[in-house]
Amino acid sequence: MATADDISPPPLPPSPPPGPSRRAALLIGLGGGLVMLALMGVAALVSLTKGPDAVMSVGGPFNLLDGDGKPVTEKTFRGKFMLVYFGYTFCPDVCPTTLNQVAEAIDRLGPKADRVVPVFITVDPKRDTPAVMKEFAAAFSPRMIGLTGSADEIGKAARAYRVYFAERRTGPGANDYTMDHSSILYLMGPDGRFLAPIRAEETGEQIAAALGRFVR
Protein backbone atom coordinates (compact mmCIF):
# COMPACT_ATOMS: atom_id res chain seq x y z
CA MET A 1 0.00 0.00 0.00
CA ALA A 2 1.12 3.52 -0.67
CA THR A 3 1.91 6.59 0.68
CA ALA A 4 0.21 8.36 3.53
CA ASP A 5 2.61 9.05 6.30
CA ASP A 6 2.22 9.62 9.99
CA ILE A 7 -0.99 7.67 9.98
CA SER A 8 -0.33 5.85 13.20
CA PRO A 9 -0.54 6.30 16.07
CA PRO A 10 -3.66 8.44 15.74
CA PRO A 11 -3.02 11.55 17.80
CA LEU A 12 -5.74 12.00 20.40
CA PRO A 13 -6.05 15.20 22.39
CA PRO A 14 -4.47 14.75 25.83
CA SER A 15 -7.25 16.34 27.83
CA PRO A 16 -10.07 16.27 28.60
CA PRO A 17 -10.78 12.66 27.67
CA PRO A 18 -13.54 12.61 25.08
CA GLY A 19 -16.74 10.85 25.99
CA PRO A 20 -17.73 7.66 24.20
CA SER A 21 -19.73 9.30 21.44
CA ARG A 22 -17.13 12.00 20.80
CA ARG A 23 -14.40 9.40 20.76
CA ALA A 24 -16.35 7.32 18.27
CA ALA A 25 -16.93 10.37 16.08
CA LEU A 26 -13.26 11.23 16.31
CA LEU A 27 -12.20 7.73 15.33
CA ILE A 28 -14.64 7.62 12.45
CA GLY A 29 -13.36 11.00 11.33
CA LEU A 30 -9.76 9.87 11.58
CA GLY A 31 -10.47 6.60 9.81
CA GLY A 32 -12.27 8.37 6.98
CA GLY A 33 -9.39 10.80 6.64
CA LEU A 34 -6.86 8.00 6.51
CA VAL A 35 -8.80 6.07 3.93
CA MET A 36 -9.06 9.19 1.83
CA LEU A 37 -5.34 9.87 2.22
CA ALA A 38 -4.51 6.33 1.19
CA LEU A 39 -6.81 6.54 -1.82
CA MET A 40 -5.30 9.86 -2.84
CA GLY A 41 -1.85 8.33 -2.63
CA VAL A 42 -2.83 5.39 -4.78
CA ALA A 43 -4.57 7.68 -7.25
CA ALA A 44 -1.47 9.86 -7.41
CA LEU A 45 0.78 6.89 -8.07
CA VAL A 46 -1.59 5.48 -10.68
CA SER A 47 -1.87 8.82 -12.46
CA LEU A 48 1.91 9.18 -12.37
CA THR A 49 2.42 5.89 -14.11
CA LYS A 50 -0.46 6.19 -16.58
CA GLY A 51 1.16 7.70 -19.61
CA PRO A 52 3.25 10.39 -21.17
CA ASP A 53 0.71 13.14 -20.56
CA ALA A 54 0.59 12.48 -16.84
CA VAL A 55 4.35 12.09 -16.78
CA MET A 56 4.89 15.50 -18.33
CA SER A 57 2.88 17.27 -15.67
CA VAL A 58 4.98 16.35 -12.63
CA GLY A 59 7.54 18.85 -11.42
CA GLY A 60 8.06 22.42 -12.46
CA PRO A 61 9.47 25.71 -11.30
CA PHE A 62 10.20 26.25 -7.64
CA ASN A 63 11.93 28.93 -5.59
CA LEU A 64 13.29 27.51 -2.38
CA LEU A 65 16.21 27.92 0.01
CA ASP A 66 19.05 25.54 0.72
CA GLY A 67 20.63 24.88 4.11
CA ASP A 68 22.62 28.10 3.91
CA GLY A 69 19.55 30.15 3.01
CA LYS A 70 20.67 30.50 -0.61
CA PRO A 71 18.04 30.46 -3.36
CA VAL A 72 17.61 27.17 -5.21
CA THR A 73 15.40 26.69 -8.24
CA GLU A 74 14.55 23.76 -10.48
CA LYS A 75 17.40 24.92 -12.71
CA THR A 76 20.05 24.68 -10.00
CA PHE A 77 20.59 20.97 -10.57
CA ARG A 78 20.13 20.85 -14.34
CA GLY A 79 22.54 18.35 -15.80
CA LYS A 80 22.02 16.03 -12.87
CA PHE A 81 19.27 13.65 -11.93
CA MET A 82 17.19 14.80 -8.97
CA LEU A 83 15.59 12.33 -6.61
CA VAL A 84 12.92 14.46 -4.94
CA TYR A 85 11.10 13.65 -1.73
CA PHE A 86 8.72 15.81 0.29
CA GLY A 87 8.41 15.39 4.05
CA TYR A 88 9.44 17.08 7.28
CA THR A 89 12.13 16.73 9.91
CA PHE A 90 9.75 16.15 12.83
CA CYS A 91 8.26 13.16 11.01
CA PRO A 92 8.17 10.38 13.59
CA ASP A 93 8.68 7.51 11.26
CA VAL A 94 8.21 7.44 7.51
CA CYS A 95 10.46 10.31 6.40
CA PRO A 96 13.56 9.18 8.30
CA THR A 97 13.07 5.61 7.11
CA THR A 98 12.68 6.69 3.50
CA LEU A 99 15.68 9.03 3.63
CA ASN A 100 17.79 6.24 5.10
CA GLN A 101 16.89 4.05 2.15
CA VAL A 102 17.64 6.90 -0.27
CA ALA A 103 21.04 7.41 1.33
CA GLU A 104 21.75 3.70 1.04
CA ALA A 105 20.64 3.72 -2.60
CA ILE A 106 22.97 6.62 -3.38
CA ASP A 107 25.85 4.77 -1.75
CA ARG A 108 25.08 1.70 -3.82
CA LEU A 109 25.38 3.69 -7.05
CA GLY A 110 29.12 4.05 -6.51
CA PRO A 111 30.74 6.54 -8.92
CA LYS A 112 27.37 7.13 -10.64
CA ALA A 113 26.16 8.78 -7.44
CA ASP A 114 27.86 11.97 -8.66
CA ARG A 115 25.10 12.28 -11.22
CA VAL A 116 22.21 12.13 -8.74
CA VAL A 117 21.17 14.79 -6.21
CA PRO A 118 18.82 13.57 -3.49
CA VAL A 119 16.57 16.52 -2.63
CA PHE A 120 14.44 16.62 0.51
CA ILE A 121 11.80 19.37 0.49
CA THR A 122 10.00 20.16 3.72
CA VAL A 123 6.23 20.51 3.94
CA ASP A 124 6.69 22.09 7.41
CA PRO A 125 8.51 25.36 6.74
CA LYS A 126 7.36 26.80 10.08
CA ARG A 127 9.72 24.49 11.95
CA ASP A 128 12.09 23.44 9.19
CA THR A 129 14.34 26.46 8.80
CA PRO A 130 17.35 26.29 6.46
CA ALA A 131 19.63 25.45 9.40
CA VAL A 132 17.33 22.67 10.60
CA MET A 133 17.12 21.23 7.08
CA LYS A 134 20.87 21.40 6.61
CA GLU A 135 21.64 19.43 9.74
CA PHE A 136 18.86 16.92 9.13
CA ALA A 137 19.79 16.19 5.51
CA ALA A 138 23.48 15.89 6.35
CA ALA A 139 22.66 13.28 8.97
CA PHE A 140 21.52 10.95 6.18
CA SER A 141 24.02 11.72 3.46
CA PRO A 142 26.56 14.43 2.70
CA ARG A 143 25.04 14.46 -0.78
CA MET A 144 21.50 15.17 0.38
CA ILE A 145 20.16 18.69 -0.13
CA GLY A 146 17.46 19.92 2.25
CA LEU A 147 15.21 22.66 0.91
CA THR A 148 12.72 24.94 2.63
CA GLY A 149 11.10 28.27 1.85
CA SER A 150 8.08 30.43 2.46
CA ALA A 151 4.79 28.65 3.03
CA ASP A 152 3.67 30.03 -0.32
CA GLU A 153 6.66 28.67 -2.24
CA ILE A 154 6.47 25.32 -0.46
CA GLY A 155 2.82 25.12 -1.46
CA LYS A 156 3.69 25.88 -5.08
CA ALA A 157 6.45 23.27 -5.16
CA ALA A 158 4.17 20.65 -3.62
CA ARG A 159 1.43 21.39 -6.14
CA ALA A 160 3.92 21.11 -9.00
CA TYR A 161 4.88 17.65 -7.78
CA ARG A 162 1.30 16.65 -6.98
CA VAL A 163 2.20 16.27 -3.32
CA TYR A 164 -0.60 16.37 -0.77
CA PHE A 165 0.13 17.73 2.70
CA ALA A 166 -1.89 19.01 5.62
CA GLU A 167 -1.29 20.00 9.20
CA ARG A 168 -2.87 17.79 11.84
CA ARG A 169 -3.26 19.35 15.30
CA THR A 170 -2.27 17.15 18.24
CA GLY A 171 -2.69 19.68 21.04
CA PRO A 172 -3.10 23.34 21.92
CA GLY A 173 0.57 24.37 21.71
CA ALA A 174 2.16 26.07 18.72
CA ASN A 175 4.28 22.96 18.04
CA ASP A 176 1.55 20.43 18.73
CA TYR A 177 1.04 19.20 15.22
CA THR A 178 2.19 16.63 12.74
CA MET A 179 2.04 16.83 8.97
CA ASP A 180 0.15 14.37 6.83
CA HIS A 181 1.85 14.08 3.49
CA SER A 182 1.98 11.85 0.47
CA SER A 183 5.15 9.86 0.26
CA ILE A 184 6.53 9.23 -3.21
CA LEU A 185 10.03 9.64 -4.59
CA TYR A 186 10.23 11.49 -7.89
CA LEU A 187 13.13 10.89 -10.26
CA MET A 188 13.75 13.88 -12.48
CA GLY A 189 16.09 13.77 -15.46
CA PRO A 190 19.10 15.99 -16.17
CA ASP A 191 16.81 18.10 -18.40
CA GLY A 192 14.38 18.60 -15.50
CA ARG A 193 11.76 16.26 -16.88
CA PHE A 194 9.96 13.75 -14.72
CA LEU A 195 11.20 10.22 -15.39
CA ALA A 196 9.60 7.92 -12.85
CA PRO A 197 7.96 7.65 -9.46
CA ILE A 198 9.58 5.35 -6.94
CA ARG A 199 7.65 4.00 -4.00
CA ALA A 200 8.93 5.38 -0.70
CA GLU A 201 8.55 1.93 0.84
CA GLU A 202 11.27 0.46 -1.39
CA THR A 203 14.53 -0.69 0.15
CA GLY A 204 17.80 1.02 -0.62
CA GLU A 205 18.65 -1.83 -2.94
CA GLN A 206 15.36 -1.46 -4.83
CA ILE A 207 15.73 2.30 -5.10
CA ALA A 208 19.27 1.86 -6.38
CA ALA A 209 17.98 -0.61 -8.99
CA ALA A 210 15.27 1.86 -10.08
CA LEU A 211 17.84 4.64 -10.36
CA GLY A 212 20.18 2.33 -12.27
CA ARG A 213 17.63 1.98 -15.06
CA PHE A 214 18.08 5.67 -15.87
CA VAL A 215 21.48 6.64 -14.51
CA ARG A 216 23.97 4.89 -16.75
Strand partners, 87: 122
The packing angle between helices 204-212 and 94-108, to 10°, is 50
Distance of alpha carbon 136 from alpha carbon 195, whole angstroms = 27
Please identify, using beta-carbon distances, which residue of 114 and 176 lies nearer to Ni ion: 176
> How would DSSP label each residue in 195-209?
EEEEETTS-HHHHHH
Nearer to Ni ion, 5 or 74 (CB): 5
Nearest-approach distance from CB 98 to Ni ion, in angstroms:
8
For Ni ion, the closer CB: 165 or 194: 165
Question: HSE of 115 in the Cβ direction (CA atoms, 13 Å)?
Answer: 18
* Nearest distance from C-beta of residue 52 to Ni ion, angstroms: 30
Q: How far is the CB of 97 from Ni ion (least distance, A)?
A: 9
Q: Residue 136 CB, nearest distance to Ni ion (Å)?
A: 12
Q: Give the CB-nearest residue to Ni ion.
A: 91
CB of 179 to Ni ion, least distance (A): 7
Instruction: For residue 158, give the nearest of 75, 89, 58 by alpha carbon.
Output: 58
Which of 113/119 has CB closer to Ni ion?
Answer: 119
Could you tell me the smallest distance in angstroms from the CB atom of residue 192 to Ni ion? Answer: 25
Q: How distant is the alpha carbon of residue 202 from its chain centre?
A: 14
Enumerate long-range contacts of 47-52, CB under 8 Å, 24 or more apart. 47/162, 48/162, 48/184, 48/197, 49/197
Between 98 and 141, name the residue whose CB sits nearer to Ni ion: 98
Q: Which residues bind Ni ion (CB under 5 A)?
A: 5, 87, 91, 94-95
Pairing of the two strands 177-181 and 165-169: antiparallel
For Ni ion, which is the closer residue by CB, 96 or 155?
Answer: 96
Report the b/e string of 114-146 with b at 16+ CB within 10 A. eebbbbbbbbbbeebebebbbebbeebbebbbb
